């Protein structure tokens, strides 16, 4: 049986950073709407600055650092992918479209056959 370790935010400083980030987002949104009479430039500057400071607080916490590490690992894995050549991609796409067309035809024929069988022969509704 494999054991997995669950990591949680354990320090008070990390919890405070996450609360501060959430509070900054709420404050930025509230300021955006409360400063409506100051003009759109002031509104947007306050909103963007609030969100930047919130992002800074979040990314300085352990959760933020884990998110950045996850993003780096994901990008590293994407770079390892061997993408198909253009010719190969076109061939695979053509195979998929061909298969979809054949399946659509098969399902349509099956539906019409069952419709004919039940409605015309068994029930006699279409006379």
- Mean pLDDT across the chain: 91
Q: Which domain holds residue 17?
A: 10-81
Give the residue, 101 or 123, on which the prediction is more confident. Answer: 101
Phi/psi for 86 (5° steps) reads -60, -45
Residues 6+ positions from 89 with CB-CB distance below 8 Å:
none
4 is a domain residue: no
Q: Are residues 103 and 57 in the same domain?
A: no
Q: Are residues 49 and 65 in the same domain?
A: yes
Q: Are residues 48 and 20 in the same domain?
A: yes
Predicted structure pTM score: 0.57
pLDDT tens for 17-44 read 999 999 999 999 999 999 999 999 999 9
Q: Would you state the pLDDT for residue 124?
A: 78
Phi/psi for 98 (5° steps) reads -60, -45
pLDDT tens for 46-97 read 999 999 999 999 999 999 999 999 999 999 999 999 989 999 999 999 999 9
């Amino acid at each position: 049986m494999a054991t997995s370790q669950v990591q949680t935010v354990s320090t008070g400083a990390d919890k405070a950073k996450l609360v501060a980030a959430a509070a900054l987002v709420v404050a930025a949104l509230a300021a955006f709407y409360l400063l409506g009479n100051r003009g759109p430039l002031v509104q947007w500057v306050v909103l963007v600055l609030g969100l930047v400071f919130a992002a800074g607080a979040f990314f300085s916490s352990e959760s933020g650092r884990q998110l950045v590490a996850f993003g780096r690992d994901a990008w590293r894995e994407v770079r390892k992918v061997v993408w198909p050549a253009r010719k190969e991609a076109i061939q695979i796409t053509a195979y998929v479209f061909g298969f979809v067309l054949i399946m659509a035809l098969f399902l349509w024929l099956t539906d019409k056959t069952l419709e004919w069988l039940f409605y015309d022969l068994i029930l006699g509704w279409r006379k």
